[in-house]
Every structure is written in structure tokens, then in C-alpha cells.
Amino acid sequence: MDKTVILTGLRANNDLHIGNYFGAMLPIIKMAKNHDEYQINLFVPDLHSFTTPIDHGSLYEQTLANLRLFVAAGLPLDKANVYIYRQSFIPAHSELTWILDCFTGIGEMNRMTQFKDKQVKLTTSVDTRVSMGLLNYPVLMAADILLYSAAYIPVGDDQKQHLEFTRDIAMRMNAKFGDLFVVPKSAEEQNKFFSLDQGLRIRSLVEPEKKMSKSEDNDKSVIFLNDQPDIASRKIMSATTDSLNQINYNPTKQPGVSNLLQLLALLTAQPQNEINANWQGKTSYGELKQAVAEATNKFLVDFQAKLSSVNHQEVISRLEANETAMNDQANQTLQKVQRAVGLRQ
């Protein structure tokens, strides 16, 4: 691990949406395209995928489908510093999780916002079991990061607390056992590195107070990367706004309108402040929606054309080679930890 590592993972419990695309995929892919001086790890945390109930019959294929999405989004598979892999194909992730578990407080995990939100959702659904896996989710995520000594982790705003925990457990282990782990950069340093003011949060089109989420029951709230472009445009046209009748970028007071402005900036790759200045004070929400709907349509048509030309076989052979290389890297860290905690000499 000579190069500084940039790493992120996207679960495969469902199709990916534009929040996943802009929050995590695009930032790492931009780095992969332009910066050979970093090691780029883009993986599918398939073990994280069933911390809440899923259709297990489709998990394996969904994982491969998501890897193809990475390539369609521009991940340069031909570069030697770029690695794709499946978490469950690298057993060190599970092994390190167990060790970290024994240094993690139950209270710490109970306090995680995402755990609390998902817990409420589960207890109000048919399947009422809140699994140990859900509670343990952040520890597995910390293992995903620490095994490769990753410094930069592009994630959406909802993962900030999990990154903070990763830093905490790394520092805790280092204090007890000496220099075991590279501590990932702080949220501020990460934002600076990825040129962001703050972590990205694309909002639900139906309930803009909430984030856009793939586990959302209402399909109208999410634009999936494989949505038919005209259906996606219709979702934008029916997005919830407000009754103020004036366009302003103010996520607190006007979350729906601000979300549309944010989507327009991202989909057209224009700076947010320019988009905001163009629309500031205008009164027609219909026109704004029309512009976002057109940009969405164009984005999806382009993306899906690229997806249809991805060579599946090439992805598979690259995946297998990368998994061998990443097993070697991950095992080096794991063995160091095993020695430190007294399991090996």
C-alpha cells in the first residue's frame, strides 16, 4: 500500500440511484480517471446488503450488475491503480470485524442515527426483527476502510457518523496497541479534498425533508440509474415543492426547490452558485421542473447507452484478478492486528 488510498463501497441490495451516483460513485471515478498517484478501491459491500431484509435470490446478480454500473459511470478498468472487488470474497473483512467488535461498545452502536432510523422502520414493518448485523453495520464498514489504510472515503452525508466511528475505533486501537491503523482524514479534510462545502445529500422527490433512498417504498421519490428516461422525467415533474412560489436555494426553508436546483447543477455539471443565480427569484416551478426533467432524461439516455456497451466478461476477469490482489493487501493488515491482539506471534 504505497499509494494513498481512496476507497468507497455501494451496497447491492437494490438498484443504484442518482443519490448514490453523485454522492459516492462520481467523486471516486473522477479521481480514478485523473489521478494515477492514488490507489482507488471501489467495491460492493455485499455482506452489508442484507443488514435489512432483501431478496437473496437476486443478490449475486445484482452485485455484478452494480459493478457494471461503475464501469458505465466511467471507472477506468484498464488502470493498474484501480481495484474492484466484492467484500465477501475477501474474508479478512469479516475477521477484522470480529476483532474490532470486541473493542466497540454496544451503546456506541445503539446511538448511530442510521441504526435508530432503520430500527424504527423495521419494527413498524411485517418483518420485525432488528438484526445483530444492522447493529454491527458500522464496525464492518470500519473494517472495510482500515484493512486498506484508506485516507479518503467519498460518501454521502448520511455516512458521516460511520466515518467518524471509523476514526474513533482506529485511534482507540492505535492508543492500545501502537500504530496499527492509518486513521482516515476528518470530514473537513475529506470535503476539502473532494471540493465540497459539505457531504452531499440528494433528497426524496416526494418527501424532500428526507434523503433519496433506495429502500424507500415510494418509487416516485427516487430516480434509479436504470429508470426509463421518460418515466424518470415524469417523477421530476411531479416532485414535491412548496407554496412560496419563488425560487431560492434554501435547503431548510425550501427543501424541494433546493433539491431541484442541486440536481440541475449536478446533472449538467455546472457550478451550484451559477445555477442558483440563474433561477433566483423566478416564480415558475413548472419551468424549473421542466429543465431538471430534460437534464435527467439526457443524463439517463447517455448513461444507459454506456451501460449497454460494458463488456461483462472483462468486468469478471478484472474482478477476479483484483480480488486476489486485495486479499493479499487485506491479509497483511489483518495479520498485523492478529499479532497485536495476541492471536499470532
The least distance separating ligand TYM from the CB of residue 144, rounded to whole angstroms, comes to 4
Q: Rounded to whole angstroms, what are the CA distances from 122 to 52, 130, 314?
A: 8, 7, 39
Query: Under a CB-based contact definition with an 8 Å cutoff, are residues 90 and 326 in contact?
Result: yes
What residues are paired with 38 via a beta bridge? 4
143 touching ligand TYM, by CB under 6 A: no
Query: Under a CB-based contact definition with an 8 Å cutoff, are residues 211 and 17 in contact?
Result: no
Contact window for ligand TYM (CB under 6 A) among 53-61, 148-156, 305-313, 330-338: 148-156
Strand, coil or helix: 85: strand
State the burial class of residue 6 (Cβ atoms within 10 Å of its Cβ: 0-12, 13-18, 19+).
Answer: buried
Query: In angstroms, rounded to a whole number, what is the distance separating the alpha carbons of residues 77 and 292?
Result: 31
Residue 251 has φ and ψ, to the nearest 5°, of -55, -25
Query: In angstroms, rounded to a whole number, what is the distance separating the alpha carbons of residues 314 and 198?
Result: 36
Q: Which is nearer to ligand TYM, 46 or 77 (CB)?
A: 46
- Among positions 293-332, residues that touch ligand TYM (CB under 6 A) are none
Q: How many residues bind ligand TYM, per CB under 6 A?
A: 26
Q: Which is nearer to ligand TYM, 208 or 229 (CB)?
A: 208
Of residues 155, 263, 295, 315, which one binds ligand TYM by CB under 6 A? 155
225 touching ligand TYM, by CB under 6 A: no
Contact window for ligand TYM (CB under 6 A) among 19-27, 116-124, 185-193, 237-245: 19-27
Number of H helices, E strands in the chain: 14, 4
67 touching ligand TYM, by CB under 6 A: no
20 touching ligand TYM, by CB under 6 A: yes
* Residues shown for the chain: 345
Of residues 28, 32, 96, 153, which one binds ligand TYM by CB under 6 A? 153
- Among positions 199-218, residues that touch ligand TYM (CB under 6 A) are 200-202, 211-213
Question: Contact residues for ligand TYM (CB under 6 A)?
Answer: 7-11, 19-20, 23-24, 45, 48, 141, 144-145, 153, 155-156, 158-159, 162, 200-202, 211-213
